[in-house]
Every structure is written in C-alpha cells, then in structure tokens.
Amino acid sequence: MTTTTLQALVSDLRRALGPRHVLDTPEDLIAFEYDATIERALPDVAVFPATTEEVAAAVLLARRYGVPVVPRGSGTGLSGGAVPVNGGVMVVLTRMNRIVEIDTLDRVAVVQPGVINLHLQEALAPHGLTWAPDPSSQRVCTVGGNVANNSGGPHTLAHGSTVNHVLALEVVLPDGRIVNLGSRVPDAPGIDLRGLMVGSEGTLGIVTRATLRLVRASESVRTFLAVFDSVEAASEAVSGVIRRGIIPVAMEMLDQEIIRIVEPRIHAGYPLDAGAVLLIEVEGLAEGVAQDAATVEAACLEAGAREVRSAEAKAERDALWEGRKAAIGAIGAAAPAFYLLDGVVPRTRLPAVMKQVMALTAEYGFRCANVFHAGDGNLHPNIMFDPAEPDAERRVLALGEAIMRVCVDAGGSVTGEHGVGLEKRSYMEWVFRPADLDAMTMARDAFGGAGFFNPCKVLPGGHGCATGHAAELAAVMSDPRVYV
C-alpha cells in the first residue's frame, strides 16, 4: 500500500471510529506486532472499535482499500493467529469488554468479545454458575479469543472445548454484513454456522457478541496430587482411571523437568524428586465424588504412585492448580528461550509417544519440559534452548517438526487447543488429504474472506503467504527474545 493510500485509509477510519481510536505511528504499532509466540508482523493501522457497527465500518473501509483485516483480543494466542503477516487493519476488540447480560434463570450469558475470561467467571461466581472453558491464560485471554480458537483447558476432559459452550454469535462478515448465528436456545434448526465459526481463527468473520451456555458449579470438588517415579507410570494411571469408568474433570501431568522449574518459584507442593505428578480433579455430588475419589486413588496406587494427596478446600486446590497454571510462564525464567508445542495423541499412545519425544529431544541435544493435559492426550513439550548457540534455531524447529510427526503417526493431530494459526499451517498436509483441505477451502471461500480476513492462517498456501513455517520463523529468529 502506498503512503498516500494508507493516509487516506487512516483518515477514513478516524472519521468512522474517532481519532483517539485509530493508531498509525510505527512506535505505537509495534505493540500490535506480536502475540504469545515468536511470530512478528506489523499492521498498517490498528483500530479500537466500541460497537459492532464500528467493526463493520472498519471492515468495509479495509475492503474498499483492499487491505487485510486481522482481529486481536488480549494477544495471548499460541499459534501466531493474531499476527498480521500481510499487514492491514488490526481490529483490536479490547474496548468491547462489556458483560451485556447474565441470565441466571436460563443459564445464559451474553458478552462482548473483549471480556476477559476470568472477569466473566468472577461475575458468574456469586450466582453459582461458571462458563466451562478455562484455558491456562484465562486471567488474561478474551472470550472472543476463546471462540476464535475454540480454546480448551484443563477441564476440557469432562466439559469439552469452547464450541460446546457457545449458543449463538453475532458476527461481522467479510462483506461487512452483521449476522446472528445459532440461537439463545440450544440446537437451533438449520445449518450450524455457529459451530463452523467457533475455531475459525478470524478467517471467516469477526465475533462481536457471544451468547454463552453456563453451567452450575459442582457441589463438591476434589483435587488429587499423585506422585510417580516416571512419566510412564503416570500415563498408566491415566488409562487406569479411565478403564475404571471414571472421567475426571481434569487429568494434568507435569514431568520432572517442569516440576523442578515451577516448584521453587510457585511452591505448589510438587515433590522435587518426583518423576512426574498428576493433578486429577473429580466433581459432582458429594457422594459420587467420594466414590470416584476412592477409585482414582486405587488406580494411581496400582500404577505405582508413591503418594496420593487429596485437597478439598478451595485454597488447597488453588495452590495445587497454581503450579500448573503458571508452569509455562515459569520456563521463561528458567531458560533463555523455549519453544512450546501442542500435539494430540490417543490417550493409550501416551507412554510410547512420551518415550519417543524424550528420545528425540536427547538426540537433538535439548532439554524438554512437559506439562500437559494427559487425560485428553494433549501434549505440550517445551523445548528449552539458547538462541545464542550456533544453529540452535534450526535444530529446535527440526525437533519440533519431528515431534509433530510422532503425534500424527500415532493417530493424533498437530494442535489440540492452540490453533493452527501461522505456525501449523504447513503441518496441515500431514493430517489432511488434498480433498479434505479442498473442502475446508470451499467452506472458507463461501464466507468471502480468502486473502482478506486474517490471511495466511489455518489453511496452507495462499496468495502472498510465506511458503512454510521454517521460512517464517527464520525471518524473526534474529530477534533476541523468547521463542514460545
């Protein structure tokens, strides 16, 4: 885009949204070139709409000037989804942060996309209600971001991902139309465009309002810390619990490497000499929880747990969880840089896959800390490295790719909850056949946003998009920062 065109776009946007809500100086725009990954790209202009109509106006202007639109919430994504690789207009939704309605009678909440997940939970708590998605970033991520990425979290195991908890969406489409998908009552007849929109990472539309399904907080919750000598034993316990007919609400694993990073900082009570710990949570009626608790304990002990601690009081449970929630961030203090992966495998393949991951990591000469949703088979290997070391970046990327291969070969997938974004586009061809990707492309094209709404995300290829993950990464690797 030429400077004059950009200036014209900026002044049109200022007229539409107000001068204070449009940023275009380079020193302001650099705060919108990142999310929580290593990817970086500057938008041409960033706008801060306050209403759905302003979002639509920004979309129409971007369309008229032929520049891309990229939505952004809190910028905590872990796949580069909010990084505007082709520049354009960044639509920052943090001003749209109103909880419009909480209907306690029918258990529905209506929120704007910029509402922070935890703020919603805090507003619901007095009513004994919750919105189930609880990503580890919930204290900062927005509901709009959760919807765009179909976010999961530790409690996805029993409650499902975001899509299971979204009733309806108001969306601005690439042609500027404002449409309502789904309905306030579940199972609207007709085509489930709501289900397609959730997880579409801003490529099909921009969510400007979400109607959410709430659930009642459980009467009784118990959290266990089970301590094992090895990841294999802990994995065996995971299968053992499931085999006994219990689906806990969460089963999270931390391996020795991550325990040694997180425990000195957070003091969650994880034994430093453990090979792995499992955090297991069961909830429901007190009677059921008591019965499940006994079963969980038996399964852990049978798998070789050296200790099973149980916490029922909220403060104690929070302490156990604090270590889990802060784990990824704590790696930042422990290593000059790390690369966080997100793969999924069938639960029963966990022990074998973990062994392969550790062997590969050693083969490539790195250390790897694992903290992940074991119950879902959702791995999060964190490869720690020093970018100053010669050739480190290339080897880290190669290792990441090798681990992703292991996941796919085990019948799994390349992202369980972080999204495809920029980072995993090139892996899509490992998981899907050309015909599968063609069908996805047809769906995207029906919305009219190809090359316009969040270009170069989700699907591989695309006009003006870098050819692969490695090429994109190499471009930003000169930046001496951390590689999440």
Partner 1 sequence: MTNQPTESVRHAMPANTERGPEAYAIDGLTPRLAFAPDSRSEAAMLLRAANAAGLVVAPQGGRTATGFGRPLTEYDVALDLRGIHRVVEYVPDDLTVTVEAGITLAEVQRVLGEHGQYLPMDAPPDDHVTIGGLLATAKTGAWRGHLGSPRDHLLGVEVALPSGELARSGGRVVKNVTGYDLHRLHTGALGAFGVIVEAAFKVSPRPAQTMTLAAPAADQHEAMRVARATWDASLATRALTLLGGAAAAHLGLPARPTVIVEFAGQAAAVERSAREFEGLAGRTETPTADLWRKLRATHGDTATTVARLGVPPSLVADVVASAEGAGGRAWGHLAAGAVIVHGDIGVDALRRLRAMAEERQGFLQLEHAPVDLRREFAPAEPGDGDLVRALRDRFDLKRTINRGRWGSGL
Partner 2 sequence: MTGTAFVGPDTPSAADLANCIHCGFCLPSCPTYLATGQELESPRGRLHLISALHSGRIEATDGVLGHLDQCLQCRACETACPSAVPYGRIMEDARAALMANEPSEQPRTWRWRTFALRHVLARPRRMRALLTLGRLYSRSGLQQAARGPLRRLVPARVRRLESTAPDLRAAPFRRTGTLASPPAANTHVALLLGCVAGEIYPATHEATVRVLDRLGCEVVAPPEQGCCGALHSHAGDADTARALARRNIDAFEQAGVDAVIVNAAGCGAAMKEYGRLLRHDPHWSDRAERFSANVRDVLEFVAARGVPDGLGRIDRTVTLQDACHLAHAQGIREAPRAILRAIPGLELREQVHPDRCCGSAGIYSLVQREMSGQVLAAKMAEIEATGAETVCTANAGCTMQIEAGVRTFGLGADVRHVIELLDEAIRAGGYSSPAGPTGTGPSQAGAR
Q: Does 34 bind partner 2 (CB under 8 A)?
A: yes
Q: State which of residues 17, 36, 166, 374 lies at the interface with partner 2 (CB under 8 A).
A: 36
> b/e per residue, 114-130, with b = 16+ CB within 10 A?
bbbbebbbebbeeeebb
Pick from 269, 288, 332, 351: which binds partner 2 (CB under 8 A)?
332
Give which of partner 2, partner 1, none residue 482 binds (C-beta under 5 to 8 Å, depending on kind): partner 2
Chosen residue from 140, 298, 326, 440 binding partner 1 by CB under 8 A: 440
- Fill in the amino acid letter for 180: N
Nearer to partner 1 by Cβ, of 173 and 354: the residue is: 173
Distance of CA 416 to the CA centre of its chain: 8
Asked if residue 153 lies in contact with residue 136, where contact means CB atoms within 8 angstroms, the answer is: yes
Helices (H), 224-383: 231-243, 256-266, 286-302, 314-334, 350-364
**Is residue 449 close enough to count as binding partner 2 by CB under 8 A?**
no
Burial of 133 (0-12, 13-18, 19+ CB in 10 A): buried
Nearest to 476 by CA among 86, 40, 44: 40
Contact between 97 and partner 2 per CB under 8 A:
yes
Question: Any contact of residue 451 with partner 1 (CB under 8 A)?
Answer: no
134 interacts with partner 1 by CB under 8 A? no
Q: Is 259 in the site for partner 2 (CB under 8 A)?
A: no
Burial state string for 16-34 with b = 16 or more CB within 10 A and e = fewer than 16: bbeeebbbbeeeebeebbb
CB of 65 to partner 1, least distance (A): 24
Residue 100, interface with partner 1 (CB under 8 A)? no
Q: Indicate the helix (H) or strand (E) that contains 394.
A: helix 392-409
Q: Which of 420, 456, 476, 484 binds partner 1 (CB under 8 A)?
A: 420
Residue owning tokens 């970086």: 40
User: Minimum Å distance from CB 16 to partner 2?
Assistant: 19
Query: Under the criterion CB under 8 A, does residue 482 sit at the interface with partner 2?
Result: yes
**CA 463 – CA 465 distance, rounded (Å):** 6
Which one of partner 2, partner 1, none interacts with residue 116, CB within 5 to 8 A by kind? partner 2
C-alpha 51/C-alpha 209 separation (Å) is 10
Q: Spell out, one character per residue from 9 to 48, where the chain touches partner 1: x when CB under 8 A holds, - when not.
A: ----------------------------------------
Give the CA radius of gyration of the chain: 22
- Asked if 153 is part of the footprint of partner 2 (rule: CB under 8 A), the reply reads no
Residues 39-78 that bind partner 2 (CB under 8 A): 48, 74-76
Part of the chain binding partner 2 (CB under 8 A), chosen from 88-96, 189-197, 295-303, 454-462: 88-96
Antiparallel, parallel or unpaired: β 89-92 and 45-47:
parallel
- Site for partner 2, rule CB under 8 A: 23, 25-28, 30-32, 34-37, 48, 74-76, 92, 94-95, 97, 114, 116, 118-119, 122, 137, 139-141, 265, 326-333, 336-338, 480-482, 484
